[in-house]
Amino acid sequence: AQKITQTQPGMFVQEKEAVTLDCTYDTSDPSYGLFWYKQPSSGEMIFLIYQGSYDQQNATEGRYSLNFQKARKSANLVISASQLGDSAMYFCAMSNGGSQGNLIFGKGTKLSVKP
Amino acid sequence: SQTIHQWPATLVQPVGSPLSLECTVEGTSNPNLYWYRQAAGRGLQLLFYSVGIGQISSEVPQNLSASRPQDRQFILSSKKLLLSDSGFYLCAWSVDGRYDYGYTFGSGTRLTVV
C-alpha cells in the first residue's frame, strides 16, 4: 500500500534562513508523482511543487525546491530565504499513477517563521 | 482560466440533520472530482472521487454519499449527521488522465456538528 510519512509535526525557522521539511514515501508503483501543498490558517490548499518519479532533475519553483532521492524514497521540500508569510501547514502528497490521479497525503508539518 | 467554487464556507449542524455541500468547477470539461475531509490538525482523507457524471467511487465507508449530477458539479450529502462528521471538507479537481498536474482545491467548508 502507498504511504506518505512526515515525521516533523512542527518546525521553527528564522526569517531569511532556509528550512527543509522532510517527506518519505512508500510505493511499489514505478510511476508516481510527488507534490507539496501549503495550507495557511485560512484552510485553502495551495499547490507548491511537483516531482515525477522519472524526472532526472530536482524540481524547483521560485524559493521552493524538492530534494528528490529516489533510492531513499524521500522528497524533502526546501524553502530558501523564509518569509513570515511562509508560516503554514505543509503537506507532502503522492499520486498513484493511475488515471484517477488520486492523491494520498501525509499528516503535515507546521512551519513557523520567526522574525 | 479554471476556477473551483465550494460552499458554504462554514456550517453548524445538529446531530441527525441532513447535509448538502456543493462544489462546481468552471473553465474545464470532464474533470476528475474529489471530496476530502481533514480532521483538526490532521492530514487529508479521500472520501469520494468521480471520473464522470454519475460515476462515484468511495474510499472510506461512512454515512456520507456523493453525487455528480452534471459534468462540473459534485455534491457531498448525508441523511443524518454524526458528531464524527465534523471537520474541514475540501473539494478538488484534476485533469482526467494527467495525475502529474496535481489537484486544484476549493476553499473548503468547515462543518461543525453539535
Residue B58 phi, psi (nearest 5): -105, 135
Cell of A20: 527543509
Q: Which amino acid is at A51?
A: Q
* pLDDT of B97 higher than 80: no
Selected residues 24-83 of chain A with any CB under 8 Å from a CB in chain B: 33, 35, 37, 42-45, 47, 50, 52
Query: Cβ B104–A47 below 8 Å, yes or no?
Result: yes
Q: How confident is the model at residue B34 (pLDDT cuts 50, 70, 90)?
A: very high
Q: Tell me what pLDDT residue B99 has.
A: 64
Q: Tell me what pLDDT residue B100 has.
A: 67
Q: Tell me what pLDDT residue A102 has.
A: 77
What's the rounded mean pLDDT across residues A1-6? 89
Mutate to test the interface with B, among A32, A102, A107, A109 (most CBs of B within 10 A): A102
Closest CA–CA distance from residue B56 to any residue of chain A (Å)? 12
Query: Cβ B99–A101 below 8 Å, yes or no?
Result: yes
A87 interface with B at CB cutoff 8 Å? no
Q: How confident is the model at residue A97 (pLDDT cuts 50, 70, 90)?
A: low
A7 interface with B at CB cutoff 8 Å? no
Could you check whether the bond before residue B8 is cis, i.e. omega within 30 degrees of 0?
Answer: yes
pLDDT digits (tens, 9 = 90+) for A68-83: 999 999 999 999 999 9
The rounded distance, in Å, linking the Cα atoms of A4 and A94 is 7
Q: How confident is the model at residue B61 (pLDDT cuts 50, 70, 90)?
A: low
Q: How confident is the model at residue A95 (pLDDT cuts 50, 70, 90)?
A: confident
Q: How confident is the model at residue B90 (pLDDT cuts 50, 70, 90)?
A: very high
Query: Cβ B102–A100 below 8 Å, yes or no?
Result: no
Out of A21-35, B19-33, B96-110, least confident range = B96-110
Query: Cβ B102–A103 below 8 Å, yes or no?
Result: yes
What's the rounded mean pLDDT across residues B76-93? 95
What are the chain A neighbours of B4 within 8 Å (beta carbons)? none
- Note the Cα B40 to chain centre separation in Å: 17
- Note the Cα A34 to chain centre separation in Å: 8
